[in-house]
Structure 1
Amino acid sequence: MSRPLGYLSVVLSFCCVLGVSLVDRFGIDGTVAGFGLGYLLGEGLSVLAIVFAAYGCYRILLAAFDRRTPDKRRRHDARNILRLTVGIAGIVSVLGVVTQQWVGVLFSLGVVGFAVTFALQQPLFSLIGWLYIMVKRPYQVGDRVAIEDSKGDVVEVSFLVTTLWEINGGLVSSNQPSGRIVTLPNSVVLSSHVMNYTREEFPFVWNELTVQVAYETDLDYATDLMAGIADDYIGDEMAARIGRYRERLSETPVELEVQDRPTVNIVQQESWVEFRLRYLVHPRRGQRVRNELYKRILDAFNDEPDRVKFPVSRNR
């Protein structure tokens, strides 16, 4: 629909230009508020020609980019950039036609822009933040991020604000959607920490699942059993992702030992021992994977009551 609408706008623009030519050729008698009727009609048709041409170019370029780019994130960014570019060009063109002083219009815009800098600092900072987001890519549409006290999935990045579908918040937990919409000014990326859980280059995070057992547990047996259950469930999938993780590490000066299968760490507490299963997972599958692993591990532990014991209430 965008492309036909764009072509229609371009045709209407040419019709307006033709109308201006006809008005100039034949002339129209009469005045309105001291201005010649022919002059006002010509200026109005010129403005309409610019508006239709700008809108038509925007629609045609957007349709062409959408057709060649299946990625929704790229289309979203292109839409914002085209809207800003065509909008500025259209406004300057309209002012130039109306005033017939192109140099004066550009100079006036510079003076007005200087004044607006002081009057509208926060919106200006948000616009600069948008430019930073477009260039440096701390996040983009579709990413799961945490910014200041807000966490959620990015659904829109406009010129001034970023919109999130909230995760967690004060209503739910365990990385579940709350149903609320959070709007943040883009300026926060210039002064706050931004945590991206699903960055395009590596959209995975490390998770831990903790199970508490008694000191009487056969620790070697329990850790092997726990690691084996996790390996059967997500081991192969995790190993494939670790390859990408190591590639990213190789591009940095950081040296880390990375296991390509799930591992179990043991932490001693005052009245029990904690097994902490560490594994790699996509953030949006984190809770489902945790629930399934927890169920399988508890079932396996309960099948071996002589070798795996759970802590009971005791005096400290």
Structure 2
Amino acid sequence: MKYRNREKNKKWIVIYAIIAVVLFVVYYLLNLEVLDAYDKYIPFLKKFTLSLILISIIFMISKIVGRIVNNQNHLEGDRYNLLRIIRFISIVLSLIVVTSFLFQNLLAAAATLGLFSLILGFALQAPITSFIAWVYLIFRRSYLVGDRIQIKGFRGDVLEISYLDTSILECSGDYLGNDRKSGRTIRFPNSLILKEEITNYSGPDVPFIWNETPLQIAFTSDLQFVEDCLLTVCLDDFKERYPQLDAQKKNEWEPAVYFRINSYAWMEAVISYPVEPLDTTGRRNRILKNALPKLNGAPDKVQFPEGSFR
């Protein structure tokens, strides 16, 4: 994805550069004496050509800056926000150039833009609120692209943060009983973040959340054996998945086992462990697949509910 964006930026840099060069040639040709017969059109054409040159240069520079951003080792969410800001600035500068072309000077253009903005402020309150919320998101970083969030009953992975709304790929939902992606896309206005609480399950500072998986066992089971078995399986899976974490970091995410009585009068051995938000179902499956054969292999130490007593 990152490589594709770099190649796309490179293509547009060349296109905008060619357009700017062609327009420079046109602007130069407009000064030739052979066109003196069209004196009354020349000033308009010059100004129009100069405006197009400036717009081409603005977008070319934005693509160059975007290429630089793509080459840096930014997080995906931060890179996405930076590219959005660059795109927004280039659009604003282009609008200033267009407005300057339509009016005689920048003062008149600024006054017109101010009046136009005032009118739009009354007519488009909801979109403007969503745009302000987008600015808030950029600086506050409540969530980034790729994060798993929950807001107003919606839960999913952030796909896009546009100027007016956010798109997430739903997980869980009406048809699933786990944290897998449902395949449905949910889009909500950015203004919603100013009214509702946001739960962010992801983030560079705290990459894991805590999850737990219970197992029903009999009161006569060897609790120490059960605890050691679950902890060993959980730690082995964690080390295999995250070998790059140093010892200090791993100590911060030590799993734990505790026991409780459930409503069916059986004992539950509950393994509590850290997991990446996108790996909740997969990690639970791996732990169960590795732990159950070991527990079943020691029937003298571990007994499970059977038949009508389950």
Distance 1:23 1:148 in 2: 68
1:6 aligns with 2:16: yes
Over aligned residue pairs, what C-alpha RMSD do you find? 2.9
Q: Deviations over 1:98-150 (max 9, x none)?
A: 21132121012112212222211111111111111110111111222222222
1:85 aligns with 2:89: yes
One-letter amino acid of the structure 1 residue matched with residue 12 of structure 2: S
Q: Displacement, 1:199?
A: 0.4
Q: Which of 255, 258, 265 is the aligned partner of 1:262?
A: 255
Residue 135 of structure 2 corresponds to: 131
Distance 1:242 1:165 in 2: 34
Residue 18 of structure 1 corresponds to: 28
One-letter amino acid of the structure 2 residue matched with residue 207 of structure 1: N
Uncovered stretches (5+) of structure 1, i.e. residues with no partner: 30-35, 246-257
1:103 aligns with 2:103: no
Distance 1:24 1:244 in 2: 76
- Conservation of the 8 A alpha-carbon contact between 2:216 and 2:266: yes
Q: Deviations over 1:53-106 (max 9, x none)?
A: 332222233223323456543432222111111111111111112211321210
- Conservation of the 8 A alpha-carbon contact between 1:16 and 1:46: no
- Tell me the secondary structure at the aligned position of residue 51 of structure 1: helix
Q: Displacement, 1:286?
A: 2.2
Q: Which of 165, 179, 185 is the aligned partner of 1:181?
A: 185
Residue 282 of structure 1 corresponds to: 276
Q: Which of 197, 218, 222 is the aligned partner of 2:222?
A: 218
Q: TM-score normalized by structure 1? A: 0.82
Distance 1:303 1:130 in 2: 56
Residue 197 of structure 2 corresponds to: 193
Q: Which of 233, 236, 247 is the aligned partner of 1:232?
A: 236
How do 1:242-253 residues align onto structure 2 when only pairs under 5 Å count?
243-244=248-249
Distance 1:183 1:13 in 2: 41
Q: Displacement, 1:190?
A: 1.5
Residue 299 of structure 2 corresponds to: 305
Q: Displacement, 1:40?
A: 4.3
Distance 1:184 1:68 in 2: 30
Residue 33 of structure 1 corresponds to: none
Residue 8 of structure 2 corresponds to: none
Q: 1:72 to 1:17 in 2, by over 3 A?
A: farther
- Tell me the secondary structure at the aligned position of residue 116 of structure 2: helix
Distance 1:20 1:96 in 2: 20
Q: 1:56 to 1:240 in 2, by over 3 A?
A: closer
One-letter amino acid of the structure 1 residue matched with residue 156 of structure 2: G
One-letter amino acid of the structure 2 residue matched with residue 142 of structure 1: G
Distance 2:171 2:165 in 1: 18
- Conservation of the 8 A alpha-carbon contact between 1:239 and 1:260: no
Worse-matched range after superposition: 174-183 or 9-18: 9-18
One-letter amino acid of the structure 2 residue matched with residue 28 of structure 1: Y
- Conservation of the 8 A alpha-carbon contact between 1:164 and 1:182: yes
Q: Displacement, 1:291?
A: 0.5
Worse-matched range after superposition: 110-119 or 213-222: 213-222
Distance 1:75 1:260 in 2: 28
Q: 1:4 to 1:282 in 2, by over 3 A?
A: same
Q: 1:80 to 1:105 in 2, by over 3 A?
A: same
Worse-matched range after superposition: 181-190 or 215-224: 215-224
How do 1:139-150 residues align onto structure 2 when only pairs under 5 Å count?
139-150=143-154
Q: Which of 93, 98, 115 is the aligned partner of 1:94?
A: 98
Q: 1:63 to 1:9 in 2, by over 3 A?
A: farther
Distance 1:58 1:12 in 2: 19
Number of aligned positions between the proteins: 298
Sequence identity (%)? 26
Q: 1:307 to 1:242 in 2, by over 3 A?
A: same
